[in-house]
Amino acid sequence: MNFEKLKMAEAAFMNRYPGGFTHVDMQAIGKKHKMDRMIEFTQACFVKKNFRDTQTIIDNMIKIVSRSSMVSVFEKPRFKDFASSLTPKEKNALVAGLKDQLHGNQQKGFEKIVGLLSIKKLAKWPLISICPVYFSPHDEVFVKPTTAKGIIAHFELEELHYRPQPNWEFYELWRTTINEMKTKVDSSLSPNSAAFSGFLMMSLNNSL
């Protein structure tokens, strides 16, 4: 990691937005993304006891994907059609995968969901990472392909090798790297992982 570039990005961001994400302009952007509302809704939907009701979990996954500002408008209807068309057995598998991803063996859940989404060529990073990042906004990370590739290149994260097909090894290392980078800058730049990724994205191409 190029630590100097990270500190330069921090200085530029703090100069433009004193207080980091507490700055009024950043607060306005946060409201557009409805992060607090999405986090609250996701955490309420996916408490462990709720996984007894497969169809409700499926319905809430569709709602979260559909309402998220971080998921492509092209992927939203495709995911809805996919989830709605699953057989009862496939729905149970998808819900079991999400339960593992949020409450159990994360790798097992991640790979189960990737396998199911691959059936319809829907194994996309945003769809895989959106529920976890709302459910555990300080620990989990969102993977947006263009942003991830840009951050890897700009900050010289040489140990990370992005691949379009979601895989656990990349996700785990991406999460570790992002969470480590958070510790190197002012805490006001990371009210949650998605916001911190937004800060890194804004630092690309001299946009600050």
Phi-psi region of 88 (alpha: psi -120 to 50; beta: other; left: phi over 0): alpha
Task: Compute φ and ψ for 114, nearest 5 degrees.
Answer: -60, -45
What value does the mean pLDDT of the chain take? 94
Percentage above 70 pLDDT, the chain: 98
CA distance 66 to 3: 37
Here the tokens at position 1 are: 């990691």
Q: Is 59 helix (H, G, I), strand (E, B) or coil?
A: helix
Residue 79 scores a pLDDT above 60: yes
Residues 6 or more apart whose CB falls under 8 angstroms from that of 80 comprise: 62, 65, 66
Residue 207 scores a pLDDT above 70: no
**pLDDT score, position 206:** 61
Contact assessment for residue 46 and residue 101, using Cβ atoms and an 8 Å cutoff: no
CA distance 182 to 197: 10
- Nearest-5° Cα angle at 39, 29 to 146: 55
CA distance 89 to 95: 10
Contact assessment for residue 34 and residue 69, using Cβ atoms and an 8 Å cutoff: yes
The domain segmentation of the chain, as residue ranges, is 3-32+139-206, 37-135
Residue 51 scores a pLDDT above 90: yes
125-182 pLDDT, tens digit each: 999 999 999 999 999 999 999 999 999 999 999 999 999 999 999 999 999 999 999 9
pTM assigned to the model: 0.92
Q: Tell me the average pLDDT across 53-76.
A: 96
> What's at 15, amino acid-wise?
N
